[in-house]
Amino acid sequence: MAIDRVKLLERLFEITRGLSASVDAETYLQSIISAAAELTASETASLLEYDEVSQEFSFKFVPWFHRDAVKSAKVPLEGSAAGWIFLNVKPLAIDDVTKDSRHYSKIDDLVGFKTRSILGVPLILHGRPVGVFEAFNKKDKYTREDILVLETLASLATTALQNDMLEKNIFSSQEEARELDKLKNEFIAITSHELRTPLGLILGHATFLRELIGSEFHEQVEAIIRNASRLKEIIESLASVDNYETGGSLVRSRRVSVARIIEDVSASFHEMTKSKGISLKTEIKDGRELWVDIDGGKIAIVLSNLLKNALTFTNEGGHVLIRGEQQPEYIVVSVKDDGLGIPAKDLPRVFDRFYQVESHLTRRHGGMGLGLSVAKVMIEMHGGRIWAESQEGVGSTFTFLLPANKKNEPESPPPFVG
């Protein structure tokens, strides 16, 4: 008997270990069915799943030779041993089915099988029954040990079914996310393409009209040009992210001074800093030009987006500092402000496309949440890295790294083309 118990434990351990093996759920559950028959000395076993809508059981897993016969068969909740086990959430052993009215004999007629005895236990998930695990036709009477074995196997079967369900849900969610992302990218690509032509015409005609009309309507035309330019900026930002994700964007590198980019970009925001009374300073450590092979136009866009973001969220009288620094393997550029800061819960998502720290119902600042995502895309195109550090109410620092080129600095600096 001791040897039998050792073999029993070894077999249960083997089945338990198989739960973490890389086999599909159906193969594993079929092995549990075989183990149930083997370890309880039964002729066969089956796993039934309960359907709450029809209030019937269907055969989820049975031995292969019964599969075709029972694939559409149903066992009622009332008037069956499975139903009694399910409703009472307790094991049931019937040593002679001819003397117990709870046996549902129509399945025997369907598959040409003669049931003599039954042992069944409930399948329990999160504290509630979801099905029944049964073994049939032991030569002797079913014992307490048989119940424990079947309950152990039922627990493993339930875990396997849950894992399979979770895996299918994850796969389905991933497929749905991929499809939604594809539709989103197609929408962005089509929309940005279709808006470019009419917007170009609006800007062109408005600029032409500005030269013709008198000062009486000058303010209105300027409003048209200003807002059309804003729309153009949004469209270009959408296109930049879409081109990167679809592989349509290229980096056209040349030898460029990052220090020159910093000076040019900061100068372009002179009016904005003046109107808000913000102090904007630049600091290039060691006074170096910070030469590197990059796409100057794209890095200028990155810095412009970071600087615009800093100025937008810095109150009047605040301070913004752009710092550039040469390190052995990187050019480091940072934009630091003493503005509103970013809540800790929002910080991990500030580079997500369309993400905005402010609610669309409460926000006081404009924008579509594209500037930082565009900056991230363009830095990554250069093999660099960008991140944010912030403390709410104190300010933020956005920093990006560009891999430094090992070439010597040119004798005469090339002109920067933004």
Q: Do both 189 and 137 map to the same domain? A: no
Q: Do both 190 and 145 map to the same domain? A: no
Q: Do both 267 and 357 map to the same domain? A: yes
Backbone angles phi, psi at 68, to 5 degrees: -65, -35
Q: Do both 46 and 78 map to the same domain? A: yes
Please state the domain count of the chain: 3
The reported pLDDT for the residue numbered 109 is 81
Q: Do both 130 and 205 map to the same domain? A: no
Q: Do both 92 and 50 map to the same domain? A: yes
Asked if residues 396 and 409 have their Cβ atoms less than 8 Å apart, the reply is no
Last residue of a domain, one of 138, 171, 204: 171
Of the ranges 21-35, 107-121, 376-390, 393-407, which is most confident?
A: 376-390
The reported pLDDT for the residue numbered 137 is 92
DSSP type of residue 260: H
Percent of the chain with pLDDT over 90: 35
pLDDT tens for 288-335 read 899 999 989 889 989 999 999 999 999 999 999 999 999 989 999 999
User: Which of the two residues, 403 and 16, has the higher pLDDT score?
Assistant: 403
- CATH number reported for the structural domain that contains residue 40 in this entry: 3.30.450.40
Q: Do both 16 and 152 map to the same domain? A: yes
Query: Please, what is the average pLDDT of the chain?
Result: 82
The confidence band for 82, taking pLDDT boundaries of 50, 70 and 90, is very high
Is the pLDDT at 48 greater than 60? The verdict is yes
In a domain, 415, yes or no: no
Q: Do both 82 and 216 map to the same domain? A: no
pTM: 0.49
- CATH number reported for the structural domain that contains residue 277 in this entry: 3.30.565.10
The confidence band for 278, taking pLDDT boundaries of 50, 70 and 90, is very high
In a domain, 342, yes or no: yes
In a domain, 281, yes or no: yes
Residue range of the domain that includes 203: 179-245
Asked if residues 273 and 240 have their Cβ atoms less than 8 Å apart, the reply is no
Q: Do both 266 and 374 map to the same domain? A: yes
The confidence band for 206, taking pLDDT boundaries of 50, 70 and 90, is confident
In a domain, 236, yes or no: yes
The reported pLDDT for the residue numbered 166 is 76
Q: Do both 18 and 102 map to the same domain? A: yes
- Structure-block tokens of residue 329: 């393997």
The reported pLDDT for the residue numbered 22 is 53
Using the CB atoms, write b or e for 168-184: b if 16+ within 10 Å: eeeeeeeeeeeeeeeee
Last residue of a domain, one of 245, 272, 303: 245
Q: Do both 198 and 93 map to the same domain? A: no
Is the pLDDT at 242 greater than 70? The verdict is no
Alpha helices in 143-257 (DSSP H): 144-212, 218-245
